[in-house]
Amino acid sequence: MKTKDKILKEALRLFNERGLSQVGVREIARSLDISVGNLSYHFPKKEDLIMELLSQIRMANDARYEEYFEGRASLGRFLGTFRQIMENQYRYRGVFLGHDEINQVIKKHFDYLSIEEKRRKFFHRIYTDLAKAGELKLAEGDIEFLISFITLFGRFWMMEASISFTDKSKEEIIDHYMGLLKKQLGLFV
Amino acid sequence: MKTKDKILKEALRLFNERGLSQVGVREIARSLDISVGNLSYHFPKKEDLIMELLSQIRMANDARYEEYFEGRASLGRFLGTFRQIMENQYRYRGVFLGHDEINQVIKKHFDYLSIEEKRRKFFHRIYTDLAKAGELKLAEGDIEFLISFITLFGRFWMMEASISFTDKSKEEIIDHYMGLLKKQLGLFV
DNA sequence: CAAAACTTAGTACAATGTACTAAGTTTGAA
DNA sequence: TTCAAACTTAGTACATTGTACTAAGTTTTG
């Protein structure tokens, strides 16, 4: 294997282990028994390394989608494709994960599992009450689904916004995401 | 205002401006015209500062939820509460945002808006085809909703997993999130 | 009034990303 | 085979970062 590929492979391994920001170029070089100068020859900046990994993900994902479009449209096929995408993302998880100080700080200082537990109970109560009051019609499993939805949603809507809506105002952004939440809950009215 | 509060306020302002990892303790001190030693007296570690801000968010949010629980259960009231939560999160967005190298790298090197556009068209086609094939029953606005959902979902399921499911295997994690996606799409079958 | 709380300026250290040099080695095309 | 390009090495250097400490002052408060 070419040194360049070795670097990419080992870097991804280390990123998956500890996260993007926790792995320095010196460590990647040390782990491969090559010099920093060598690594620097192939990837002058850490960014270049990350970019290469990102390109690999994109190419792999694009290939999956193209495969999908070649066949007939079916829910089963789509779900299969999406699962492959997820597997692929997981393979490169280090590129996406652990690069955030914040979650590390939270995990270090808060009893995060109990916060999670509390949050679940919170929403469970909210949805149960709404069902009792006749505001929502919830079947078996719906509550768990809605809890998962709002957990993911509440945690990441703002990151999503910072990526997708760079030029929108606070009000527009919040309106947009409130619209999503309303629509989602509206499916159970 | 006490110095401690001044520090918190200015730190948040800078974090909101450029993101957690882009603002150093020296800059916060300089910006306030106080010494690093002084800042260090109040917050020995940057983490301590972040923790304080996080606590403020939590307290504010908890207060909103408690208010909600004091009144009667209604969808409208819940949505109102959630909007307040979102406003609050937005106020502290710097603590959550921009702390990730990855999005900065992506935005710097890729034409991100066109990728976004392409992704939307991708999913638009997928859902339209599925509707035509009779696999999904989609009314006005449903497609936009599903696109927004899968965009958020596909981007953040893994981060969510890294927070919520620390002990689960890859297969279990992917199964769980595939379950959510199936359930969501199942609502339109 | 005295102690506690606060503030200052300054130093220090290890780690990081980045950048460069001068020298060798390997490899592939003419 | 030859020779230039591609690759690899070890080492140096620099600015920036989080973190930690000191010794000295000032302000606040019980």
- Tens-place pLDDT, residues B157-178: 998 888 888 889 999 999 999 9
Q: Which residue has the higher pLDDT, B170 or B116?
A: B170
Same domain, B70 and B20: yes
CA A73 to chain centre: 26
Q: Is residue B115 domain-shared with residue B182, that is, in the same domain?
A: yes
Assigned token pair, A26: 């010196």
- Residues B73 and B28 reside in one and the same domain: yes
Residues 6+ apart with CB under 8 A from A167: none
The per-residue DSSP string of B27-84 comes to HHHHHHT--HHHHHHH-SSHHHHHHHHHHHHHHHHHHHHHHHHHS---HHHHHHHHHH
Q: Of A64, A96, A128, which residue constitutes the final position of a domain?
A: A96
Q: Above 60 in pLDDT, residue A99?
A: no
Nearest to A181 among B79, B96, B108 (CB): B79
Report how far residue B174's alpha carbon sits from residue B148's, in angstroms, rounded to the nearest whole number. Answer: 20
pLDDT at B103: 66
Q: Are B73 and B35 in contact (CB under 8 A)?
A: no
Tell whether B59 lies on the interface with A, counting CB pairs under 8 A. Answer: no
Which A residues in the span 160-189 are in contact with B, Cβ-Cβ below 8 Å? Answer: 160, 162-164, 170, 173-174, 177-178, 180-185, 187, 189
A82 and A114 co-located in one domain: no
CATH code for the domain of B39? 1.10.357.10
Q: What is the mean pLDDT of chain A?
A: 89
**Residue whose Cα is closest to the C1' of D19:** B45
Query: Residue A27 sits in which domain range?
Result: 3-96
Mean pLDDT of B96-102: 62
Tokens of A63: 């290939």
Q: A135 lies in a domain?
A: yes
Nearest nucleotide over every DNA/RNA strand to the B37 CA, judged by C1': C8
| Cα gap B50→B15, rounded to integer Å | 10
Do B62 and B119 belong together in one domain? Answer: no
Nearest CA in chain B to A48: B105
Judged by a CB distance cut-off of 8 A, whether residue A122 touches chain B is yes
Is some CB atom of chain A closer than 8 A to the CB atom of B65?
Answer: yes
The CA distance from B14 to the nearest CA of chain A, in Å, is 16
Q: Assess whether A114 and A83 both reside in one domain.
A: no
Measuring CA to CA, how many Å separate A150 from each of A97, A122, A153, B79, B180? Answer: 21, 11, 5, 12, 12
Task: Specify whether A78 is located in the same domain as A120.
Answer: no
Bigger pLDDT: A114 vs B145:
B145
How many residue pairs from chains A and B have C-beta atoms closer than 8 A? 199
Q: What is the DSSP letter of B187?
A: T
Structure tokens at A37: 């100068």
Lookup: tokens for B153: 């979902």
With bands split at pLDDT 50, 70 and 90, how would you rate the model's confidence at B104?
Answer: low
> Total domain count for chain A?
2
The length of chain B, given as a count of residues: 189
* Residue A145, amino acid: F
A16 and A54 within one domain: yes
How many helices (H) and strands (E) would you count in chain B?
10, 0
Residue B102 has what pLDDT?
A: 66
What residue has token string 């990855």?
A: B102
Question: What pLDDT score was predicted for residue B101?
Answer: 58
Give the nucleotide at minimum CA-to-C1' distance from B44.
Answer: D19
Q: Which residues of A fall within a CB distance of 8 Å from B86? A: 154, 157-158, 174, 177-178
Q: How confident is the model at residue B150 (pLDDT cuts 50, 70, 90)?
A: very high
pLDDT digits (tens, 9 = 90+) for B21-46: 888 899 999 988 888 888 888 898 88
**pLDDT in the model for residue A96:** 78
Domain boundary among A96, A125, A140: A96
What pLDDT does B177 receive?
A: 97
* Residue of chain B with shortest Cα separation from A172: B87
| CB atoms closer than 10 angstroms to residue A70 | 7
All residues at 6 or more sequence positions from A37 whose CB lies less than 8 Å from its CB, including other chains: none
Q: What residues in A contact B54, CB-CB < 8 Å?
A: 105-106, 110
